[in-house]
Structure 1
Amino acid sequence: MKNIKNLSKVLVSCAALLLLAACRKEQAQSASQAGTPIERTDPLASWNDTKVKKDIIAYIKDVTDSKSPNFIPVQDRIAVFDNDGTLWSEQPFYFQLFFALDQVKALAPQHPEWKNKQPFKAVLENNMGDLMKQGKNGLLQIVGVSHSGMTTEEFNSNVRKWIDSARHPVKKKLYKELIYQPMLELVKYLQDREFKVFIVSGGGIDFMRAWTEEAYGIPSYQVVGSTLQARYDYNNGKPSIVKLPGLDFNDDREGKPVAIEKYIGKKPVFAAGNSDGDLQMLQWTASNKYKNFELYVHHTDSVREWAYDRKSPVGNLDKGLDEGKVKNWSFADMKTDWKVIYPEK
């Protein structure tokens, strides 16, 4: 009899716990339906609890709360992120340039004349000083031979092989490992709150599309970037798109708002960048009638990453630094705002 009574008590306790759990689940569902989702964990765990983190969370909660006067309908929740220096590192040169140089080296056996012909001679000799002396025309030649004369499928395969194997000359890590953990969390937080997140970058659109979904969880069709010319080839019943060497569109500076209007069709409410090349994109976002948020990633950590801004030839942040402070935009200071830089294995 005593055992039966004890068993009854256990069953009653279990029933009470199940009822409590059901009530909490119902409360959570009610709160979500009311437009106030419950935060069970820290969505920005790799950020220190500084002002910028608090401002980001407060903004996202506010504009996704259906009871708030600042509520933004789901269809208008557009967020845009630069790539180089915003989602992954960009020093000492943009990573796409390293890809182009490696492709030239891979093609060199087919072009013995390159040993004595600039800018290829400088590439094969690893002489970055001489390469920079070739100027814009020299770099365009490098891009031309490494990014064109092939189908988009062939190019995508080349990028995939490189991103899975090539290592950064300073950090000695795969390039795809040099992505920013705090920004990954921010992208995910926005996506969880039903923002549609786009990459809008000066980098090559085909180069980024090969790996952005794996790295950031941003699908290829939500990537906007600079484009080369291309042509359609029916190829005896096997259609393909062939990449050509001519520049079609440069998605940088004033080009970014133009590309957003052309390819996205809606003005963003959230924008993140790190350089003067992103200034016009942030200005465009700041002009939205909805409550908006502008974020600059400020490279201040010379130990864990790099420290640079106004005088850097790569990722120069000068006018944007001044204008952002005047307009009270947010700055994510790598040294003070981020607990970690890169994802920890």
Structure 2
Amino acid sequence: MTIPFHRRRWLRFLLGGLVAVTLLAGVAGWAGGAARPADPLPSWNPGAARDGILSFVRQTTDPASPRFVPPAERIATFDQDGTLWVEQPVYPQVRFILERVPGAVTTREELERLAATALSGMPLETFRADVRQWLATARHPRWQRPYTELTYQPMQELLRYLRAHGYKTYIVTGGGQDFVRVYAEGVYGIPPEQVIGSAGATRYGYDSQGRPFLTKEPRLLLNDNDAGKPEGIQLMIGRRPTAAFGNSTGDRQMLEYTKAGDGARLSMLVLHDDARREYAYGPALGLQNTRVGRFTQGLYDEARQQGWTVISMKNDWKRIFSFEP
């Protein structure tokens, strides 16, 4: 069949337009459209902290890099209170204990005795059930949300980013090991065997039907704070961390221990300096003094001297919680 000339000219015009559109779409995609990889840290503002994380991971996971770290040695440790979730106005676990056994507590020693009294002789499974129940019902006094919703979105992204590049992430906390192990996997993606905390003794026994179970005892096995953190890391992991993250004087020795290793190392501290979106406390840089999660001027100065990165919550985090717009 012969196609009239005017129709042939129209078909050439139409086909030419389709080809041009296709080529333009391809160029747009190649130039940075759909092919661009997703931002692994969308809740972080551009700056030294974010750049330092990306550079560290890139260098330690590239086999061609002189700073390459074998997968088995990719260990990252995180304090929990004030580093992964809110610790003000009082540590969540302290509130859990006080609500179980109300009473006047004015010193750390009194709190430890209270905790020992409250937990002594309790079957471990009963304790875990109590923690789960408390977490399901307790609400933070400021936001009126469960504590498990008050984790820091930038740190959640960091945990996932590290794991996506072969890092094994651990919680190393001064809080109770049994307490944190109840929810760590569901909240942070960190299984209970990768939680190191202050640990009390347990006693093996049998119930009335002869079934074995563990009972909590008031004897402290590991005080996982200050120097206890690197001691606990050696006891439970057996490897020096490649990266460590904290927020207070209780994390100082963990960061020192991490940074002292050979090769690439990353030590970072979260500074709470955003009273509007969360809290502002130090007393470093003239911020409010506090007995909960103290970040002293001495710690700040050591961070600068040792090459640790101080993360400004106000300047480095685009958003703090997942529920923020």
Q: Give the alignment partner of residue 194 of structure 2, picking from 216, 222, 225.
A: 222
Inter-partner Cα distance in structure 2 for 1:329 and 1:273: 11
Q: Which residue of 2 aligns with 1:257?
A: 230
Per-residue deviation, residues 31-54 of structure 1 (Å, max 9, x unmatched):
xxxxxxx98111110001111101
Secondary structure in structure 2 of the residue aligned to 1:164: helix
Inter-partner Cα distance in structure 1 for 2:278 and 2:117: 31
Inter-partner Cα distance in structure 2 for 1:78 and 1:185: 17
> Where in structure 1 do 4 or more consecutive aligned residues deviate above 6 Å?
none
Contact kept in structure 2, 1:197 and 1:222, CA below 8 Å: yes
Q: Which residue of 2 aligns with 1:203?
A: 175
Secondary structure in structure 2 of the residue aligned to 1:153: helix
- In the TM superposition, 1:103-182 aligns within 5 A as 103-105=100-102, 120=103, 122=104, 131-132=105-106, 135-182=107-154
> Is residue 2:47 matched to residue 1:50?
yes
Q: Which residue of 2 aligns with 1:28?
A: none
Per-residue deviation, residues 109-138 of structure 1 (Å, max 9, x unmatched):
xxxxxxxxxxx3x3xxxxxxxx21xx2342
Q: Percent identity?
A: 41
Per-residue deviation, residues 239-272 of structure 1 (Å, max 9, x unmatched):
1110012222100000011110110000000000
Question: Which structure is larger by alpha-carbon Rg, 1 or 2?
Answer: 2
Per-residue deviation, residues 277-327 of structure 1 (Å, max 9, x unmatched):
000000000011120000000000011111011232111112321100111
Inter-partner Cα distance in structure 2 for 1:288 and 1:158: 40
Q: Which residue of 2 aligns with 1:286?
A: 259
Inter-partner Cα distance in structure 2 for 1:152 and 1:39: 49
Inter-partner Cα distance in structure 1 for 2:120 and 2:190: 25
> Is residue 2:289 matched to residue 1:317?
no
Q: Give the alignment partner of residue 220 of structure 2, picking from 205, 227, 247.
A: 247
Q: Which residue of 2 aligns with 1:185?
A: 157
Inter-partner Cα distance in structure 2 for 1:136 and 1:42: 43
How far residue 145 of structure 1 moved from its aligned partner, in angstroms, is: 3.2
Inter-partner Cα distance in structure 2 for 1:196 and 1:293: 14
Contact kept in structure 2, 1:213 and 1:219, CA below 8 Å: yes
Aligned residues: 294
Inter-partner Cα distance in structure 2 for 1:76 and 1:241: 33
Contact kept in structure 2, 1:44 and 1:185, CA below 8 Å: yes
Inter-partner Cα distance in structure 2 for 1:58 and 1:72: 13
How far residue 140 of structure 1 moved from its aligned partner, in angstroms, is: 2.0
Inter-partner Cα distance in structure 2 for 1:159 and 1:95: 11
Q: Which residue of 2 aligns with 1:276?
A: 249
Q: Which residue of 1 aligns with 2:8?
A: none
Contact kept in structure 2, 1:100 and 1:147, CA below 8 Å: no
Normalising by structure 1, we get a TM-score of 0.80
Inter-partner Cα distance in structure 2 for 1:340 and 1:147: 37
Contact kept in structure 2, 1:79 and 1:198, CA below 8 Å: yes
Secondary structure in structure 2 of the residue aligned to 1:80: strand
Kindly indicate which of the two structures has a greater share of residues assigned to helix. Answer: 1
Inter-partner Cα distance in structure 1 for 2:139 and 2:112: 23
How far residue 171 of structure 1 moved from its aligned partner, in angstroms, is: 2.5
Per-residue deviation, residues 78-127 of structure 1 (Å, max 9, x unmatched):
0000000000011111110001112225xxxxxxxxxxxxxx3x3xxxxx
Inter-partner Cα distance in structure 2 for 1:188 and 1:173: 23
Unaligned runs of 5+ in 2: 4-10, 284-288
Inter-partner Cα distance in structure 2 for 1:93 and 1:85: 11
